[in-house]
Amino acid sequence: MAERIASYRPFQSLEELLEVPGAEEFEVLKGFTVEPQLVWANQTTLQCYENVKLHVPGGPENLRRAWFGVPSGAWRDAEHVGAECSEAVRRLMETKRPIITSPGTLGCDPVPGVWKQFRLELVDNTGFSAEEPVTLRYFKTLEEVPSARESRWVAFIRHAQAGHNVEKALIMNPDNALTDEGVAQALRGREGPAGETVRAAELLVTSPLTRAMQTAGLLMGDCSVPVHVDAGITERWSAPCDEGTPKSELLLKSLPGLEHFSTWNGWDALEEVWWTQPGEDQWARAEAFVAKVREMPQDRIAFVGHGGFWDTVLGAYMKNCQVLFCDRNLL
């Protein structure tokens, strides 16, 4: 179990490792040394975690095989372990595109909800390079935000618990709603930092996925903050659970938190089929999102979105209904 915790995701420090739920039960972890490394390589193999951009030499003829899965299951092609993704990588290499090691780009998520490893075996990897995403500096409390002294900030909230967060079978079901516990979680959040943030915002922006809109509506309660629906902050694709509902059907939904959602702004601009597809460049979307927010006129903006996309923007995977803050200038 201690090995599974250590392989949960890449860590930048021992303190970050010890924050993983359950880590406190294993004294052996306190003796670990954490040495951050973006890519491990030998003469033919490259190995990294999710959300790295790899530039690899040569065309598809240089590829032997590629794999994506849990670190302990290296090269195994099995459910809940890993999957070969050679064809997806070959297509990227044919067009000279970089390989972003994410479920959306690789077109598969063999182990949803787990931080995965990518392995690439080449004929020759001489000349490869790698990049990490440029993420925003975030703060856990509003008091830490430099621009908050001028009552200016940006807040990021992850949706409350949805069906696929607790029931694996629902990972294959598009646009899951909140569970009963998720609804209760959002209602509790209304009285905590997330709700306080929403009430203090000049604008609330939500993803059109049902779980995010429910969370936004429940956190609002009776407050009158303007709400905008924006597909630009929907979840990055990893499985069918990240696919949405066509707009015409979405507007007919009747669920807790959606009592007044048809009056929110943004519906006219939303396309009938608006969600992301396998293969999208989530980095490019995150960069476009940050540039857009910098140009928005409001001083205090709250966004309700998703763990995967917020991880691309912030470099932090958030808990359900958690809120993180950034300086208004997004420095």
Please name every residue paired with 129 in a beta bridge, in sequence order, or none if there are none: 55
* Pair 77, 48: CB distance under 8 Å: no
Quick check: 10 pLDDT over 90? Answer: no
Of 51, 177, 169, 56, nearest to 120 by C-alpha is 56
Structure tokens at 181: 């516990």
Taking only the tens place, the pLDDT of each residue in 141-158 is: 999 999 999 999 999 999
Residue 250 confidence (pLDDT): 98
12 pLDDT more than 60 = no
Residue 324 has which token pair? 């993180």
Q: Could you tell me which residues come within 8 angstroms of residue 129 by beta carbon, excluding any fewer than 6 positions away?
A: 54, 55
> Residue 290 pLDDT > 60, yes or no?
yes
Question: What CATH fold (topology level) applies to the domain 142-327?
Answer: Rossmann fold (3.40.50)
Range in 12-16, 232-236, 241-245, 321-325 with the lowest mean pLDDT: 12-16
**What pLDDT digit, counting tens, does each position of 181-200 carry?**
999 999 999 999 999 999 99
Is the pTM above the cut of 0.85?
A: no
Is 142-327 the same fold as 37-131? Answer: no
Q: How far from chain centre, in Å, is Cα 267?
A: 23
Q: What is the pLDDT of residues 211-253, one digit of tens each?
A: 999 999 999 999 999 999 999 999 999 889 999 999 999 999 9
Question: Domain limits of the chain?
Answer: 37-131, 142-327
Calpha distance 98→93 (Å, rounded): 7
Query: What is the arithmetic mean of pLDDT over 127-131?
Result: 92
Q: Check if the beta carbon of residue 119 is closer than 8 Å to that of residue 66.
A: yes
| Architecture field, domain 37-131 | Sandwich (2.60)
pLDDT at residue 198 in the model: 98
- CB–CB of 299/145 below 8 Å? no
pLDDT mean across residues, the chain: 90
